[in-house]
Structure 1
Amino acid sequence: MPEVETQLLGGTANRGLVVRVGDTVRRPLRPSSTATHALLQHLERVGFSGGGNGAPTLLGVDAQGREVLSFLPGETVTPPYPDWSMTDAALDSVAQLLRRYHSAVAGFDPDTFEWAEPVPPAYVEGMVSHNDPNLDNVVFRDGVAVALIDFDLAGPGSALWDVATAIRLWAPLRPDADINDPRRGRALTRLRRFADSYGLGEADRLRLVDAAALNHVWCMDYVRRGAETGHPWFRQRWTTGEADLTDRTNHWFTTHASALRQALLS
């Protein structure tokens, strides 16, 4: 019998190209696949992944030239966001999962590999960060974050850069008028809570607001360049409000920097 392929949502870059086949996921290969495959194999060796937890397990490449990964059962957070995903408990579990990932990846040497999207040099500190712990890249079970998926943007970075990425998306750090879920009005509270749940040290707290603001610029520049080179989903995203939201959020970071720092350090 032929294998049954069920299309998965996928992210913006791979939308329509990610499928489930039985207990596996098939995804397109990329120039950085050798690097991400080595990273996933490291995570398995050190016990971060396996048994459906932590991260997908690399299983090989199929006859169509797609990477084959283990399927991780659970839920990811996509609109309309379920109530459980907006809770403080869910936020805490994301921070704790990210901390476990950073502990697991600490011994991995990235220097001999080609990675996808370089992060600003000031935030490259000898660690391979995930770089995209978006809501739909975290697998939950029973309201608890258990695994990270989609390592396409992983590469040399730092724990601080990953925390900045995660909190920018999960707080979220943007104007209240652009938050249309129960997180509206709670950005400062959730910012502090994530830093506390992760166990972020004082030195990195002092740098976190600037890192989050720059992370937003970095991420949106990636989307803009994708749109300009003709990627259909990046173009759709950029031309249906993302460009305006980017400008509003950049301004918001400027006007709220002091309050954000106070929330982290008080």
Structure 2
Amino acid sequence: MTGPAGTTGTPWDRPGPEVPLPGGVANRGRVVRVGDTVRRPLRRTSPATHALLDHLAAVGFDGAPRVLGTDRQGREVLGYIPGTAVTPPYPDWALTDAALRSVARLLADYHRAVAGFDPTPHSWPQPPPDPYAGELVGHNDLNLDNVVFRGGRAVALIDFDLAGPGSRLWDVACAARQWAPVRPDATVRDARQGQGLRRLRVFADAYGLTGAERAALPAAIQQNQEWFGGVVERYAAAGHAGFLEYWRSGTRLGSEEYRAWLAGQEPALRAALSG
């Protein structure tokens, strides 16, 4: 039972009611709030994640959890960030252009904050494919439920389990693919249907992508989709309940299906990003 700097018996380690937190796949049902803390299972790569979060705290980035220690059950203890994560059914306020822009700006702020962090002493999860690895430590999993909002504005990123050496473009591809979203309209069952291309441009503008990055984004989106498909497949094959449920849900797009759809959309994507 330890806290920051090896302290014991710290206030955050007092027992209290455990409130399950919604969202997520890998740790579904295993993440709880206790007072002003969040308790999550430790992982092989937790020391790397904790070093990253400690760096973000040291440089004054407020948009990520603080590491407090471990509790009596051997779980990591993080500071709770007040606000709302976006979970289904998605509320209307989370699908506005204002919310989308705030996600892009938060991501840009994170990338500036993490730029000076050295990942080399640590062991990380599987990295993105070349050439999307090694520029900086990316979040690598910018799903809707991994962003905390207050007052309709994105204020924090959570769930850094897949964080590791990546790149700005890789994180942008991941976020835009899911937030715009960049996928067939038939699979979009909320107010974003028919708005993907326009919202992709909104995200790119708010983040501040360069012309070269905009030209490279469609290919990055395709590889990001395929990489995440591989992550899901590996976990499902290993019997992970959350990923098995997602695998069997029928909402997952196969790599070949998505690649074919995206190839047909490439002229429209490039026009949306450059127009």
Place the TM-score, normalised by the shorter chain, in its bin.
over 0.9
Counterparts of 1:92 and 1:158 in 2: how far apart (Å)?
20
Other structure's SS at 2:85 match = coil
Residue 223 of structure 1: CA displacement? 0.5
Partner residue of 1:62 out of 61, 67, 71: 71
Give the number of equivalent residue pairs: 262
Runs of 4+ in 1 over 3 A off after TM superposition: 242-248
Counterparts of 2:85 and 2:131 in 1: how far apart (Å)?
31
1:14 corresponds to: 27
Residue 251 of structure 1: CA displacement? 2.3
| Residue deviations 1:27-82 (CA, integer Å, cap 9, x gap) | 00001100000000000000002xxxx01000011111110000011111111111
1:255 corresponds to: 264
Counterparts of 2:199 and 2:26 in 1: how far apart (Å)?
28
1:128 corresponds to: 137
Other structure's SS at 1:97 match = helix
2:9 corresponds to: none
Other structure's SS at 1:156 match = strand
Aligned pairs for 1:74-113 (under 5 A) are 74-113=83-122
2:161 corresponds to: 152
Counterparts of 2:233 and 2:46 in 1: how far apart (Å)?
23
| Residue deviations 1:207-226 (CA, integer Å, cap 9, x gap) | 10100011000001100111
Q: 1:203 aligned to 2:216?
A: no
Partner residue of 2:36 out of 10, 13, 23: 23
Other structure's SS at 2:250 match = helix
| Residue deviations 1:2-31 (CA, integer Å, cap 9, x gap) | 421111124100011111111000000001
Partner residue of 2:221 out of 191, 206, 212: 212
Q: 1:169 aligned to 2:178?
A: yes
Residue 120 of structure 1: CA displacement? 0.4
Q: CA RMSD in A?
A: 1.3
Counterparts of 1:72 and 1:95 in 2: how far apart (Å)?
19
* CA shift in 2, pair 1:159/1:224, >3 Å: same
Q: 1:231 aligned to 2:244?
A: no
* CA shift in 2, pair 1:185/1:243, >3 Å: closer
Other structure's SS at 1:26 match = strand
2:6 corresponds to: none
2:50 corresponds to: 37
* CA shift in 2, pair 1:248/1:67, >3 Å: same
- For the Cα contact (< 8 Å) 1:10–1:17, is it kept in 2? no
- For the Cα contact (< 8 Å) 1:19–1:27, is it kept in 2? yes
Residue 203 of structure 1: CA displacement? 1.4
Seq. identity, %: 58
Counterparts of 1:111 and 1:228 in 2: how far apart (Å)?
30
Counterparts of 2:215 and 2:152 in 1: how far apart (Å)?
31
Counterparts of 1:138 and 1:246 in 2: how far apart (Å)?
26
* CA shift in 2, pair 1:243/1:135, >3 Å: closer
Q: 1:178 aligned to 2:191?
A: no
| Residue deviations 1:121-168 (CA, integer Å, cap 9, x gap) | 211142000001110000000100000000000000000000000000
| Residue deviations 1:102-129 (CA, integer Å, cap 9, x gap) | 0000000011111112110211142000
Other structure's SS at 1:64 match = coil
Residue 170 of structure 1: CA displacement? 0.2
Counterparts of 1:243 and 1:8 in 2: how far apart (Å)?
24
* CA shift in 2, pair 1:83/1:113, >3 Å: same
Letter in 1 for 2:27: N
- For the Cα contact (< 8 Å) 2:135–2:168, is it kept in 1? no
- For the Cα contact (< 8 Å) 1:118–1:156, is it kept in 2? yes
